Structure formats: structure tokens, C-alpha cells
A and B are shown apart, each in its own frame.
Chain A
């Protein structure tokens, strides 16, 4: 049998030194923004019951989840997403807490990806959830927090907003079976204009089929709203949604993002628990969204505590590529204790580190070896403790 003791499983890896620093740095920048806005950290377990993620529209494809059974045969998974566990926690543990709840997390999630696709199965995510609040104020708070969090890492990002209600409302106008609806949603998601056209050609042409046909092309700046108004005007609910989006877009213009703020009316995510505004952010260094979020007013009801909610998750690993590299720490001083002075050497190290200096302790038998090591390691100063007059490093 092949022994795998020397390798890590497909899709996961060790993270060393410089990469660790970057990742911790990004974590700190993001969570600093979250804390400054009154969000409190929660840590949920790495394994959860399968049922947490298997509920209806919020379901995560089961082939993407790492599964096992617990000692009583119940199906458990490595958490593939953080919003459902937090919805569970908010509904059960915090059922009687004062609302709104402002929670943040900084944890890893696990997805089983296609083999050799070059993507990680283990990714670090940091994000917030604002539970028990709806309306423009809550939406603005969370989106502004997302903008601040991104800006804390990089100046060159783009943020786009959309609304899950648009497609939902339009699809309801058409005589579609669930699988046809899903097919059309996929075509909009992949902006496959040709196939979307084919799917819609099979239906009698109405203002609604024309609207859905236009949906994937409706992304860009404020001009998108005037184009969308043409087909939304025929329906009061759609016009209201569009007016809300425009209001949000105009409010967000205040943030000074300029053309880095975009609208995409064809933003229909696979993660179908969103019920209102949805948003994603992109940076040049990464080929996929680095932050995704939205309003999910129906998810909490699944856990027995109906309440509106909105949140986002940032991809910490992807953002780590955008922050400047930091060199791993090289100590300023190497302290070598001569034979019989080992403990005194430790006392000196304690004194120096308490002063805030970075000090390494020599483990070599001779001073000469210690000096050679310091030269290799790039440590500028070697202090020898041998009972002679104490040198001030």
C-alpha cells in the first residue's frame, strides 16, 4: 500500500512564513474594519451536520461537500459555507438576544473541487452577518463595510451590485417548469446570450421574455437603470425593485468609487438563498470574485427564527495576493550562554524581549558555532553571556 505520510491531500497545502504573514495581515485588516463597526466574532465548529447545508434553495451541491459519519451514524460535513452555520447559531443560541445581531467570522471553509483544477479545497473566509434588520440602512451599512474592508487591503477593486428579486419576478411571469427555470438562470449566469435566446425562443414572445433576454447584457454604470426601466415599467413590483436598486446605487456613489461601482442586473448566483440586493467585488490579481454577499431574508426561517439578514464573505487567500509582501522576521540579536551561564543567558533574553526586541537563543555548544550560525541567518549582533563584564546589546 502506498504510504501518504509525506504529502498533503489534493487541494490543500501547508502555508509557510511570508504567505502566512500576508494571510494574517489581511485577516487583521478585514476583522479590524468589522470590529470598528461593532461586529463581534463567533467561531463555529469545523464539522456540522449535513442537514445545515442541505435545506432547499440554500443547498450546496452535495458532491462539493466533504462528508463523514459520526459515532452514531449521522451524516456530518466539513463546513462548506459559513452563512448557514451562523444562521443556525443566531436562530438557536441567540434566539432571545436583542436584535439586530452583528456577527463576524474569520474561518476556513472546505469544498471538494474538481481534481487538478488548481483551486484550493480549503479557503479562508472573513465576513460579517447583520441579522434582524432590513431596509436601506441595513443594506448600506453592510455594503459600506464591504467597501471599507476591501479598501483596507487594496485600492484597486471593483464592486458590482445586483438584485436577486429581478430574475425571480421575471421568471414567475413565464410558464416555466423548475428545470427550465434553472436552465435559463444558468444561461443568464454564464452570459450565454445564444443559448438563452434559444431557450426563450421556445416560449411565446412577451415583454417578459424580451426582458429576460436583455438581462445578461444589463451591466455597467447608471445607464443600465434607464435601459431596465423600459421593461420594468409594466410591473409595479419590478419598478419598485429597480427604484430601490437605483436609490442604493446613488447612495453608494457617495463613497467616491466612481466607475469602480457597477450594476449587473444579470447577477443571478448559484447560491440561491439570496432574496434582495446581491453584490460581488473583483480585483485584478484574481480571476474570480474576492468578495460576495447579499440579502437572505428567508434562510433564518429554516432554522425556526424568521428574520431578515444580510452579509458577505471575503476570500482572505485571494486578497492576500493584493497586499505587499512582508519579510519573515530575522531576530536582531543572538544570545549565546557559555557553559555554566545558560540560565543567565535566558534571563538576558527575557529582559530584552520585554523591551520589545526580537532575540534568538543560541543552542550551540561553542561561541564560534553560534557566530557562524548568526552570519548564515543574517542576525546582526551576537551577545555572549560568560560572566565577564555584561555587554549592552
Chain B
């Protein structure tokens, strides 16, 4: 049987995951010296595939990767079908609704326009509020949209709130909390239960250890 395959979101989550795997006792030499390779062995029993966030979800959903490390933001936007078994504790931030300083986003009955990179998250959030808003999908810096007068507010990932402040926006309400998660393909968890549970337990112990150190 092939080794367990883990789709890992490139970039910041990759570094944190690497640290977590090493703290859990995995040999990540190949990952540290990866060069341009995208599929990397970690010991005999694990293989890591480096992907973009949304692709990690796709690979796991189709079962070509058994496991994935992705941000909750990607999970919420993807609406996919898989198991989400562990909060890895890092990559913490939040989805928030923000609007230009001094404006009252919720006032009045006129239709509001919201710019976002995450239309599904935004749609669900306003549906739950019973509000009918116009959603505009923006690919780059979402903060521009209200500055240029395209939207009344934005729904975006907020870490420190610095970018918002510098662009004259202020957070109004949290939409959801975000952190990195370990996701598992539904069939894989059933077919390779022991291996996956052992792996998840080792990561969970490492997460607890790291949280203890903080």
C-alpha cells in the first residue's frame, strides 16, 4: 500500500506544519531540502504534496491525498465533503466584516454592497442575518473596494487589523475564527483508520506540547 499522502498548503502553513511534524518526531529532511520537487517523502510511511490551499481541499476530497493541512478559511469557502479532525492551533486569525471608519454599515434599508475574496462565506453570513446584500468578488486587496466607492464594506481575513486601520477601515463584527486544520478523506479514514489515527494522535500531542511551551 502506498504511504499516507498529506496535501500541505504552501507558504506560512507549510513552515508551521514542518515545525509541528518535527516536534512530533518525523524526519523532515526532504522537506527542508525540497528544491523544486512537489512530492516529498517523510520516512517510509508518509508523503507530502505541496499545493495551493484550495487545491489541498480538492486533492483530499477526491481521495488522491488522504490528509491535508489547510486553513479554516479555505474549508469554509470550499463547501467540500471530508472529515476535519484536528485543530492544529497555528495560523490563527479571523474572518471579519469591516467598513470605512465613521460609517454605520447596518443602518437603513438601502441595499449594501460587500466586496470579498470569499463569496460563499459572505453569502452564508448575511443569509444567517437575514440581510440581502450584493456581493462582489475581488481577487486582490479587498480593502480597495470601499476606498474606491465600489462597496459599503468588506469580508476578509483579519490578523492584527493593521491593514484595515491604514486604509481607514475598522472591523465591525467577527464572522468566523480561523486556524489550520487537519482534514481527512472520508474513504481513507475508513480504509486506513489505524495509520491515520496514529498520525493524528502524534500531531495532537505535538500541538499540546507547543501550546504548553507558549
Contacts and interface: CB of A to CB of B under 8 A. Distances in A.
Interface of A: 114, 117-118, 158, 160, 190-195, 219-220, 262, 264, 280, 282-284, 286-289
Given A287-B64, A288-B187, A220 B85 contact: no
Contact of B83 (A191, A220, A289): A191
Nearest to B192: A284
Nearest to B89: A194
B210 to A, nearest CB: 16
Given A286-B63, A287-B63, A288-B63, A194 B87 contact: yes
Interface in B161-206: 181, 184-191, 193
Contact of A118 (B58, B83, B190): B58
Nearest to A280: B190
Nearest to A262: B190
B62 interface: yes
| Of B81, B84, B86, most A-chain CB atoms within 10 Å | B84
23 contacts: A117-B58, A118-B58, A118-B62, A158-B190, A158-B191, A190-B83, A190-B84, A191-B85, A192-B83, A193-B85, A194-B181, A195-B84, A280-B190, A282-B187, A282-B190, A282-B191, A286-B63, A287-B63, A287-B64, A287-B186, A287-B187, A288-B63, A288-B187
Contact of A287 (B61, B79, B193): B61
A191 B189 CA distance: 10
Interface residues of B, number: 23
Contact of B193 (A192, A220, A288, A289): A220
Contacts of B64: 287
A191 to B, nearest CB: 4
A219 B193 CA distance: 9
B187 A289 contact: yes
A267 to B, nearest CB: 10
A282 B189 CA distance: 10
Nearest to B61: A287
A336 B44 CA distance: 60
Nearest to B185: A287
B82 interface: yes
A280 B184 CA distance: 17
Contact of B190 (A114, A160, A192, A193): A160
A220 B192 CA distance: 11
A261 B39 CA distance: 33
A117 B86 CA distance: 25
Contacts of B83: 190-192
B67 to A, nearest CB: 12
Instruction: Give the one of B64, B82, B181, B193 with max A CB within 10 A.
Output: B193
